[in-house]
Chains A and B, each alone.
Chain A
Amino acid sequence: MAAGLGAKRLGKELSKISSSLPPGITLVSAENLEEWFLDIKVLDQNPIYAGETYRLKFKFSKSYPIEPPEVTFVKLSDRPIPMHPHIYSNGIICLDLLGSQGWSPVQNVESVCMSIQSMLTGNTKNERPPGDEEFVRANRLRPRDIDFYYHDNTV
């Protein structure tokens, strides 16, 4: 259970996003202060993502927002994992703002969703990261413990 700093902050974030969220982002569930689910859509006509909805899972540690949340895509029958050179087929996202180096505690659930949304919007490559298959097979680390090499921040 998130306590202290995180609890109050998450409570306030929740009341804000329950009433309003930017277009293409919807709150699916936030039953506790540990795990939230949100859906995102890519709004422009990017053919890679047209007509699809993707499900994001947020996991918060006790130290949130000092520590970044763990954010991954989850796969459901109607929620695929988006194709992107920084998104592995198991839903793990390689994005510097989700690592301790790139994270700032003034970021929040809404701003993270928007960053991911724009990361998809700007993408033109219908492909997985190099070594996806092997990574998905071998990785047992939690996303925050993976030392991603942010090779190309323009994607």
Chain B
Amino acid sequence: MDSDEDFQSTVSSDDDAMQDTDNDEMSGVEDFDAFDDEPDEEPDLGPNKIQRKRIAYDISFKVYSPTDIQAHQDEMMDEVNMILEMRKEDAAILLRHFRWNKERLMEDYMDKPSKVLEAAGLGSSTINPPRLEFIPGFTCDICYEDDDGLESFAMKCGHRYCVNCYRQYLTQKIREEGEAARIQCPSEGCGRIMDARSLDLLVTPDLADRYQELLNRTYVEDKEILKWCPAPDCENAIECAIKKKDLDKVVPTVACRCGHRFCFGCILNDHQPAPCELVKRWLKKCADDSETANWISANTKECPKCNSTIEKNGGCNHMTCRKCKHEFCWMCMGLWSEHGTSWYNCNRFEEKSGTDARDAQAKSRVSLERYLHYYNRYANHEQSARLDKDIYTKTEKKMVQLQTASGMSWIEVQYLNAASQALQTCRQTLKWTYAFAFYLARNNLTEIFEDNQKDLELSVEALSEMFEKPIAELSDPKLKVDIMDKTSYCNKRRVILLEDTAENLANGRWTFNVDLKSLAPVSSGRK
């Protein structure tokens, strides 16, 4: 597991409305056999579409395994190969050239076939399959070898090199540079693209496998509606039709079959209810301490005599250094005694600028305090979630102990698992409500939001306290009922909060004190 942040466990609790829908979504995938090819059309959401739209924060998506991804690529290649009557290898190159936009490929090809082939590196194609050859009198332009019996290869462009050089060239491109879809002929300025069949002829099977793997990736990376699940060791991809421009209206949390829940917009762990742009800004703010540094520079100065740091905390400019008792003016750093009779005004500055400076300092301090208020709450939930990283093992251990102590069956102690799941999910949500609140400007809706937040916060803390009780107390049947009630209450409160925030977000009813339109770049790659 990765140490970045909290990964959610796969097991879902039955009381959690949100996880229910996720499960539907995931199990639904097996029923749809094909991807949706039309990038500009609404994705095929299956028969549950209408029912699912009910929940404002829920988003439609599908999970695909590596086999699914391969199958779909093959399908598209077959289709192009049939319609345009070209080799499958060439169809693959064309599709990759058009970033898997089959419709545009067909259209452009029908229009100007030779121009399209040229641009994709397939110029003047013939039907002969690629093969290795011995050419008498051949000299390789890479190694300058001219031995008789030197085996050589050339793609359709005719640039011929010895097999050994070709092999080394391809190894370098694939292994060292991670290239696959756009490996060009080694000749200078030749745009001919290496195809899979030629490649198979030239390299070892394991390198060909690596090549296929990289090609598979480009398929996902080329399509805006597909993204890799970022969980370590997970090879699935998620399909979701959310558009970049809509990320100020919706927070597209998706759940992979491996159990990882993440945002399709920015690939970070689930951050509902905060929109991607706020998350990006918040994380940046937390990472660089500039805010604090600003405050310190605005509010502290060094004593002009002994250089010890002095913090200003009142409005008066008359400063007395605690250490050396030096008296000076905060504004001009001059000797206070020289200010003559105007004791409380620095007459070397205009009165107004002094007030402005004081206001700026006061504002800076208030803004820092405000930030710290939200940051502390955010960090608290993050830390609790971090501490709970091994919560699954801990819960399991607890469940075993409880079985022994109370004589309950494995099924009967499942409520503890449900409680621990609820705690994790709710903390994740709560954490982001504080970042959300930090950027939220007051309006008539913020009060409802704050009430929802408070409700969830209180119930999570209450559940957490019950959950931490010693085994002896947990075996009390009364407490079991309380925990079950509180668990379902927490889940319900979370749903209410998310629904409320998502609906207002979708309808543009929140006012933020930052611009959500400067959207974060959506990255889809993995290394």
Contacts and interface: CB of A to CB of B under 8 A. Distances in A.
A8 B169 CA distance: 16
Interface stretch (B140-148, B420-428, B470-478): B140-148
A63 B172 contact: yes
Contacts of A8: 143-145
A70 B182 CA distance: 24
B186 A106 contact: yes
Contact of B144 (A13, A66, A67, A107): A13
A5 B164 contact: yes
A6 B141 CA distance: 13
Given A63-B172, A66-B169, A12 B189 contact: no
Contact of B172 (A9, A12, A67, A107): A67
Contacts of B288: none
A63 B164 CA distance: 12
Interface string B165-176: 100110010001
A5 B143 contact: yes
A105 B141 CA distance: 8
A91 interface: no
The prevalent SS among residues of B at the interface is loop
Contacts of B406: none
Contacts of B187: 104, 106
Contact of B168 (A5, A13, A106, A107): A5
A9 B143 CA distance: 5
B191 to A, nearest CB: 12
B139 to A, nearest CB: 10
Given A5-B168, A104-B188, A105-B169, A65 B145 contact: no
A100 interface: yes
Given A67-B172, A105-B142, A5 B165 contact: yes
Interface string A107-119: 1000000000000
Interface residues of A, number: 14
A9 B144 contact: yes
A16 to B, nearest CB: 9
Contacts of B85: none
A66 B145 contact: no
A65 B186 CA distance: 11
Interface size class of B (residues with CB under 8 A): 10 to 19
Interface of A is mostly: loop
B277 to A, nearest CB: 27
Given A5-B168, A67-B172, A12 B186 contact: no
B188 A66 contact: no
Interface in A1-49: 5, 8-9, 12-13
A61 B141 CA distance: 18
Contacts of A66: 142, 165, 168-169, 172
Contacts of A104: 186-189
A52 B168 CA distance: 39
Nearest to A10: B144
B445 to A, nearest CB: 46
A120 to B, nearest CB: 20
B145 A105 contact: no
Contacts of B145: 8
Contacts of B143: 5, 8-9, 65
B177 interface: yes
Across the A-B interface, the 8 shortest Cβ-Cβ residue pairs: A104-B188, A12-B144, A105-B142, A106-B141, A66-B172, A66-B168, A9-B143, A105-B186
